[in-house]
Amino acid sequence: MKRQAGLVATTRIAMLAGLGAVLGLAACGTAGQATPTGAAATPGGPRTLTVMTHDSFAVSEAVQVEFESAHHVTVQFLKSGDTAEALGKAILARGQPLADVFYGVDNTFLSVALKEDIFEVYASPLLAEIPDEFELDPGQRALPVDYGDICLNYDKAYFSGQGIAPPARLEDLTRPEYRDLLVVENPAASSPGLGFLLATVGHFGDPGYVDYWAALRDNGVLVVNDWETAYYTEFSGSSGQGARPIVVSYGSSPPAEVLFAETPLDDAPTAAVTGPGSCFRQIEFVGILRGTANRDLAEAWVDFMLSPRFQADMPLQMFVLPVNPNAALDPTFEQYMAMPEAPIVGDPEEIAQKREAWIEAWTEVVLR
Amino acid sequence: MGRWGLLLPAAIFLALFYFYPLGSMLQISLARAETGLLGTLGSVFARPDLRKVFGFTVYQAALSTLATLALGLPGAYWLARFRFRGQALLRALTAVPFVLPTLVVAAGFSALLGPRGWINLGLMAALDLEAPPLALTQSLGAIVLAHVFYNTTIVLRLVGDFWSRLDPRLTAAARVLGASRGQAFRQVTLPLLAPAIGAAVLLVFIFDFTSFGVVLVLGGPRFATLETEIYRQTIYLFNLPTAAVLALAQLLCTLALTAVYARLSRQTAVPLNLRAARDTRRPLQSAGERLGAAAMVTVLVGLLVTPMLALALRSVARLEADRGQSGPVQPGLTLAYYRELGVNRRESLFYVPPVTAIWNSMSVAGATVVLALALGLPAAWALASASEAASGPSGMQLPAAALARSALARGDVGAAGGMIDSGNATGPSAGAGRRPAAGRGAALTALDALLMLPLGTSAVTLGLGFIVALDAPPLDLRASPALLPLAHSLVALPFVLRSLAPALRSIRPRLRQAAAVLGASPARVWREIDLPLVGRAVIVAATFAFTISLGEFGATAIIARPEYPTVPVVIYRFIGLPGALNYGQALALSTLLMLVCAGGLLAIERWRIADVGEF
């Protein structure tokens, strides 16, 4: 009896060992694919440029290959979470930078990045092509790449079905016919949520925005923490089939609904509210990380991002608009893209100083 | 001191990949405090909003743990004591929630319980209501429900698998001696199960205590736990000193809980004759038993399986059927989202074929299983055998344990173990090592608690710690894919230890002693006594490591990663973009993740074919 048990046990050990070996090999196989970040150039082989970005970064393979072959370089992208997470990591890694270039800081976080001094100055010759309104850092450490608008989106079918006009301006949302129709993101936890709060600050002034939010609260605004929950769980115009027909999203969401429709659509199911001062304009920047060992390649990459070739690729990859007016736009994108009147941009310095106080006041009025 | 040597790999691992990064991050954070450490401490504890966060964290964790036990313990009983068809499948399915990303679970819940979910629509139609009667999203109820959904598997596995190895003759003996069914349960079964229940309570509570995604997504902005507040302070406010103080508070709570647990568990552990599960399970006999099992299966399926089914259904249902559009509406079923997964429509550099993402996830999970078991098995064995020498016998003075022991002593006469052991549970040698080992007991308690810490650590603090600490060769792992299994193993290790420890502590020392007397080397004793007896527990441990890795818990969410996307990463990419195809693909890939996970779990279950618990 005992011997038999021992035999079974031994067989089992062998099987477990076998399983272990297989899994171990699998792990080695995949681990081997990785190239260490910031690795020194292997003699004769291409050098490596590392670009740190947020998770939403995307680029066409062809565009990428063009840069790599032109500069005999391998570009590695280090996706580092959402904008705030990625910036936090870049700040903490200051001095021992995780990458050569950082892309994705926006005008709500620009001042933080500049204050923490993570970028080197680079006056790219391509800046000459870009309108001055986008150049928010006169010190030329953070260079504008793209912009997009955070706007209210609404479910067209709901409003045509109910026979109510969709909202045209921020003021409309406090009217009784829009009661319990709006879902927004928490500005303390979400980038579009913060952008929309800043739009109301810019439009109604401080402290006027507080009264506006009190009116929204009384009119049944729903607050959730993240864009995904707002758009897919609560919003009725998305495929998630929520119950509320107005949501804070992007000006680029309606064209995305058409481009990513399951069956081809003749018309976007949603549209954006574009009245004067109802959207917040988010501008994203790129910069060379202080302490890079590949300054020449980093400069070449920044120039490439500002060039028409890369700029024209961005809309369909990242759903943002190019800052370089020489870049051509995709027709579908141009047709459904919301072009707001007089969007709020905001002064990065003021945003950095008052953001916490604005969020605190907002929390006090809306959540407590 | 060979036993202590076995702890070395786990200790070195923790020192390098836990204490070093965590310490560095806390140090850097507190160095930014303008008012110094004490000033920061004072200002944090003086803030009523932060005190409220702390209170709510404890409250929701206690509530969630109780609810999880209320479902898990009866479930564990029916799965442990009875044999019925579909049992293995049910067991595997109940573990699948563990691997699902929170946003996807939220989608499943809202498909069922949301304002336009099936249950609300059904109730509105049936009762002729104007508004949806259930408003469960964005509430404390949703938080508790989601915690039950995620964590019931912990109770089912830890308690159920231990229960299935308890000799049913113990309770039979108590019944023969005149105990009622309730008495037999309270005075025999419950005390014997106590270590496993304690371990499950500890793990479930810590998971709920450090809950992040569930609170953020399903609870909404009115609720905050320490974990979500640490994240907010760190990432959105870049207020590192406050975040560090909160992270320390969370750590201290984990440490205190674990220390209490470690003391209790040593007092309640009783050496047992464990039996093979297949010998203790019996078919359902009476109508009452069949009814009970049917009720249990219905509740488990209702709470744990239907949200997943809802997800799977939505991944094949046309999502645009009822939206305003000018083209023809085609309601019905579709595989479009699955087909689309295989298409790189935008010719993006970052396109990932689903097979690659699944392969990446499985590789990391495999590596995590191997690493966590390699570190955890020796450590658990060392802890269990050292604790038995240190303080095991003292526990026998507890009345409940004494009762249990007498029942045990009677019950196991004639048990197979009798060929070595005459039936006297602990014997005169039990007290021998007690006095000199008193200090060691404290050391063990401390060590045990330290090994639990990664579970109660703020993910964002540890994740950023990797960046600030592991930045120089030979440990420049900041962007290495190797960091994934390493970080997963940190979370898996406490589960591995908790799965193994109750089983290891229950092995009667006499078995080992007898084997040694008969000339077996320590290695052979381990191979022929310990391993067969804990084989089932090893499987449970492997299951936990596998699912924890697939679900990407803890600090991995914060780790920067090069192009090495696992399934959850790709799901988040899809769900972060508007459009039916993106949402549909997120649901389709989640369904594939569930299938892969269930398949993996069923495969792991098969490894126990021989179930060599008896000899």
What is the DSSP code string of B402-468?
HHHHHHHHHHTTT-GGGGT--S-SS-GGGGTTTGGGHHHHHHHHHHHHHHHGGGGS-HHHHHHHHHH
Please give the backbone phi and psi of residue B561, each rounded to the nearest 5 degrees, phi first: -135, 140
Task: Collect all residues of chain B within an 8 Å Cβ-Cβ radius of residue A367.
Answer: 221-222
The pLDDT, as a whole number, for residue B604 is 75
Structure tokens at B498: 């908790």
User: Do A299 and A248 belong to one domain?
Assistant: no
**Does residue A37 belong to any structural domain of this protein?**
no
User: Do A55 and A182 belong to one domain?
Assistant: no
d(CA A99, CA A77): 9
Per the structure, the complete domain to which residue A184 belongs is given by 149-281+347-366
What is the DSSP secondary structure assignment for residue A129, as one 8-state letter?
G
3-state secondary structure (DSSP) of residue B611 = coil
3-state secondary structure (DSSP) of residue A152 = strand
User: Do A205 and A164 belong to one domain?
Assistant: yes
User: Do A179 and A247 belong to one domain?
Assistant: yes
B588 membership: H or E segment, kind and range = helix B580-606
3-state secondary structure (DSSP) of residue B577 = coil
B418 at interface of A, judged by CB pairs closer than 8 A:
no
Instruction: Report CA dihedral (B323, B324, B327, B330) to the nearest 10 degrees.
Output: 30
**Does residue A352 belong to any structural domain of this protein?**
yes
Q: Which of A132-136, B203-207, B605-609 has the lowest mean pLDDT?
A: B605-609
Query: Measured between CA atoms, how close is A213 to chain B, in angstroms?
Result: 16
User: Do A99 and A136 belong to one domain?
Assistant: yes
pLDDT of A36 above 50: no
One-letter amino acid for residue A281 of the chain = R
Structure tokens at A49: 């440029």
Structure tokens at B38: 């004490």
Of A23, A269, A367, the CB nearest to B367: A23
Q: Is the Cβ pair A257, B579 closer than 8 Å?
A: yes
- Work out the pLDDT band at B331, boundaries 50, 70, 90: low
pLDDT of B80 above 80: yes
Among the listed residues B403, B296, B400, the one whose alpha carbon sits nearest the alpha carbon of residue B73: B296
Task: Collect all residues of chain B within an 8 Å Cβ-Cβ radius of residue A222.
Answer: 138
- Work out the pLDDT band at B36, boundaries 50, 70, 90: confident
Q: How much is the average pLDDT of B50-59?
A: 94
User: Do A257 and A357 belong to one domain?
Assistant: yes
Over the stretch A144-191, which tens digit does the pLDDT of each residue have? 999 999 999 999 989 998 999 999 999 999 999 999 999 999 999 899
Return the half-sphere exposure (C-beta side, CA atoms, 13 A cut-off) of residue B11.
13
Structure tokens at B456: 């109660």
**Does residue B441 belong to any structural domain of this protein?**
no
**Does residue A26 belong to any structural domain of this protein?**
no
- Residue A142: which CATH number? 3.40.190.10
Over the stretch B239-282, which tens digit does the pLDDT of each residue have? 999 999 999 999 999 988 888 887 777 776 677 767 767 777 88
User: Do A243 and A361 belong to one domain?
Assistant: yes
Q: What percent of chain B has pLDDT over 70?
A: 83
* Helix extents (H) in B187-232: 190-209, 213, 226-231
Task: Collect all residues of chain A within an 8 Å Cβ-Cβ radius of residue B563.
Answer: 76-77
Considering only residues A183 and B463, tell me which one the structure prediction assigns the higher pLDDT: A183
**Does residue A7 belong to any structural domain of this protein?**
no
**Does residue A262 belong to any structural domain of this protein?**
yes
The pLDDT, as a whole number, for residue B435 is 40
The pLDDT, as a whole number, for residue B601 is 84
The pLDDT, as a whole number, for residue A25 is 38
Please give the backbone phi and psi of residue B517, each rounded to the nearest 5 degrees, phi first: -60, -35
Q: Is the Cβ pair B479, A36 closer than 8 Å?
A: yes
**Does residue B613 belong to any structural domain of this protein?**
no
Among the listed residues B182, B323, B603, the one whose alpha carbon sits nearest the alpha carbon of residue A16: B603
Of B107, B350, B360, the CB nearest to A232: B107
d(CA B299, CA A177): 42
pLDDT of A39 above 70: no
d(CA B524, CA B393): 25
Look up tokens 């126990």; give the residue: B608
- Work out the pLDDT band at A329, boundaries 50, 70, 90: confident
Q: What percent of chain A has pLDDT over 70?
A: 88
pTM: 0.85
Query: Measured between CA atoms, how close is B260 to chain A, in angstroms?
Result: 35
**Does residue B40 belong to any structural domain of this protein?**
no
pLDDT of B479 above 80: no
List, as ranges, residues 528-567 from B with C-beta within 8 Å of A.
528, 531-532, 535, 538, 557-558, 560-564
The pLDDT, as a whole number, for residue A4 is 39
Structure tokens at B177: 């001696």
Q: Is the Cβ pair B476, A36 closer than 8 Å?
A: yes
User: Do A58 and A175 belong to one domain?
Assistant: no
Helices (H) and strands (E) in chain A, counts: 13, 11
pLDDT of B400 above 50: no
> Residue length, chain B?
615
- What is the 3 state secondary structure string of B493-562? HHHHHHHHHHHHHCECHHHHHHHHHCCCCHHHHHHHHHHHHHHHHHHHHHHHHHHHHHHCCHHHHCCCEC
- Residue B369: which CATH number? 1.10.3720.10
3-state secondary structure (DSSP) of residue B608 = coil
Q: Is the Cβ pair A35, B562 closer than 8 Å?
A: yes
Over the stretch A266-307, which tens digit does the pLDDT of each residue have? 788 899 999 999 999 999 999 999 999 999 999 999 999 999
3-state secondary structure (DSSP) of residue A124 = coil
Considering only residues B539 and B372, tell me which one the structure prediction assigns the higher pLDDT: B372
d(CA B90, CA B29): 46
Considering only residues B23 and B614, tell me which one the structure prediction assigns the higher pLDDT: B23
B252 membership: H or E segment, kind and range = helix B240-268
- Work out the pLDDT band at B441, boundaries 50, 70, 90: low
Query: Measured between CA atoms, how close is A276 to chain B, in angstroms?
Result: 25
Among the listed residues B93, B79, B223, B88, the one whose alpha carbon sits nearest the alpha carbon of residue B162: B79
List, as ranges, residues 232-251 from B with C-beta within 8 Å of A.
232, 234-238
Q: Is the Cβ pair A81, B528 closer than 8 Å?
A: no
- Work out the pLDDT band at A120, boundaries 50, 70, 90: very high
How many CB atoms lie under 10 A from the CB of residue B237? 15
**Does residue A34 belong to any structural domain of this protein?**
no
Task: Collect all residues of chain B within an 8 Å Cβ-Cβ radius of residue A38.
Answer: 479
Please give the backbone phi and psi of residue B231, each rounded to the nearest 5 degrees, phi first: -60, -45
B520 at interface of A, judged by CB pairs closer than 8 A:
no
**Does residue B176 belong to any structural domain of this protein?**
yes
Q: How far is C-alpha B382 from the chain's CA centre?
A: 22
User: Do A166 and A298 belong to one domain?
Assistant: no
The count of structural domains within chain B is 1
Q: A312-343 burial by CB neighbour count: b if 16+ within 10 A, else e?
A: bbbbbbbbbbbbbeebebeeebeebbbebeeb
* Average pLDDT for chain A: 87
* Helix extents (H) in B47-85: 48-81
Q: How much is the average pLDDT of A1-26?
A: 39
Give the Cα-Cα-Cα angle A202, A208, A214 (nearest 5 degrees).
Answer: 115
Strands A143-155 and A270-272: antiparallel
The pLDDT, as a whole number, for residue B427 is 35
User: Do A56 and A113 belong to one domain?
Assistant: yes
Quickly list DSSP for A322-351: ES-TTS---HHHHHH----SS-B---HHHH
Contacts (Cβ under 8 Å, ≥6 apart) of A42? none
Of A88, A98, A256, the CB nearest to B577: A256
Over the stretch B533-578, which tens digit does the pLDDT of each residue have? 777 788 888 988 998 898 876 666 677 565 678 898 888 889 888 8
One-letter amino acid for residue A72 of the chain = H
Q: What percent of chain B has pLDDT over 90?
A: 28
**Does residue A161 belong to any structural domain of this protein?**
yes
Contacts (Cβ under 8 Å, ≥6 apart) of B312? B591, B594
8 Å CB contact between B553 and B67:
no
The count of structural domains within chain A is 2
pLDDT of B615 above 70: no
> Residue length, chain A?
368
Task: Collect all residues of chain B within an 8 Å Cβ-Cβ radius of residue A11.
Answer: 610
Of B107, B478, B578, the CB nearest to A257: B578
Q: Is the Cβ pair A23, B370 closer than 8 Å?
A: yes
d(CA B155, CA B149): 12
Q: Which of B2-6, B127-131, B385-389 has the lowest mean pLDDT?
A: B385-389
8 Å CB contact between B134 and B119:
yes
Task: Collect all residues of chain A within an 8 Å Cβ-Cβ radius of residue B339.
Answer: none
Q: How much is the average pLDDT of B567-593?
A: 90
User: Do A351 and A209 belong to one domain?
Assistant: yes
The pLDDT, as a whole number, for residue B328 is 46
**Does residue B615 belong to any structural domain of this protein?**
no
Per the structure, the complete domain to which residue B173 belongs is given by 2-16+54-280+290-322+329-422+453-606
The pLDDT, as a whole number, for residue B319 is 61
Task: Collect all residues of chain A within an 8 Å Cβ-Cβ radius of residue B538.
Answer: 16
The pLDDT, as a whole number, for residue A294 is 95
d(CA B44, CA B528): 55
Is the bond leading into B474 cis (omega within 30 degrees of zero)? yes
User: Do A204 and A139 belong to one domain?
Assistant: no
- Work out the pLDDT band at B172, boundaries 50, 70, 90: confident
* Average pLDDT for chain B: 81
Q: Is the Cβ pair B607, A12 closer than 8 Å?
A: yes
The pLDDT, as a whole number, for residue B358 is 92
The pLDDT, as a whole number, for residue B373 is 94
B582 at interface of A, judged by CB pairs closer than 8 A:
yes
One-letter amino acid for residue A363 of the chain = T
pLDDT of B507 above 80: no
Query: Measured between CA atoms, how close is A4 to chain B, in angstroms?
Result: 9
